[in-house]
Structure 1
């Protein structure tokens, strides 16, 4: 499906805009995965266009959607992943003005992943109950 996309990210602010960064944020308030790193997206469908509106009323352009292969995700603060394993993050919107990357916890849960938040830790398990990440 191609066409115009409008994301309304009420709980995300535009302080994530600017120059590119390898940081990933696990965001409970974002409806979709997003990145500003075009070169790291696979099968980027640039026919998907639209706008994302953030909680501070700012608007940014969406210029495609693809998938991102997470390898050693050392750029996430306090993240522990199994070394050498890869995890495919699907349906990631390309937003050139983002200076970071956003993983939507809601999109992960909707996609069949299990998310547990307890105390200061967050665990994400895949569809086959394999641990994908643990974050402090």
Structure 2
């Protein structure tokens, strides 16, 4: 799975365009979110094929920042403090979290600077 990062204009209809373009191309959004700041919005969404999603969006003129492989983990949600615990584990190993959100299956999606190392240090949360 990949995270697709797109900068959108912050006005009505841009997110609709984004979703419609990917839907027309048969690309499903499996999780993600949009965060508006001023005149623009940062969109991060989980897709099966980030390269293909990026091609579709770029062909339509959208500003694709990039696509990256993600780490998928499942927190033990019945235990308070899980987010702090997994984030502290990554920080202890000098792994930076760039983006975090959840998918439609309540799994934690992490965009990190070293996916392999992050995976190795978070096995207890393996999805």
Q: Which has the higher strand share?
A: 1
| Same-fold call, TM cutoff 0.5 | no
Normalised TM-score (structure 1): 0.24
